[in-house]
Amino acid sequence: MAVLCAASLLALGSPALSQERPAGEPSGRISVRQTQVAFIGSGTLGGGTLTYQGRSYPMKLGGLGIGGIGASHLSASGQVYGLTQLSDFPGTYMQIRTGWAVGDQGKGKLWLSNPKGVVISLEGTRQGLHLALGAEGVVVQLK
């Protein structure tokens, strides 16, 4: 957990905090499914697929953070920026999120950035009862 927190603090100066589309063309696409539980602190667990240079790569993710209350399931997709080689994708990302969910109605946006300059911009839908506004460290691994 200390490594996750330290990596999150290193990523605080990243483009993910600007919550804007990074400069340049996307280098890949991503889809994510995750479950999030929060009460002051939060935790996530999930997986998805990275599409990069015409190939699909399954991945898993998990994380710990601060901010939010409730529990929800998120399905999201978006763009990957700044990925020049596949080995730069796995690792610890700083996540900035906003979103809400009540029942099967809900939306959310996520911006993730890692120290190697990879930025992920996601939009998705949430199901459950959840209000989120905070930061989180997320560890992404390719399967």
pLDDT tens string, the chain, 143 residues long: the values are 333 333 333 333 333 344 456 768 999 999 988 787 776 666 777 899 999 999 999 999 887 776 667 777 778 899 999 999 999 999 998 876 554 444 445 566 778 889 999 999 888 876 776 555 555 678 899 98
Burial 109-131 (b: 16+ CB within 10 A, else e): ebbbbbeeebbbbbebbbbbebb
Stated pTM of the model: 0.72
Does domain 2-142 match CATH 2.40.128? yes
What gap in Å lies between CA 46 and CA 142, rounded to an integer? 12
Provide the pLDDT for residue 12.
38
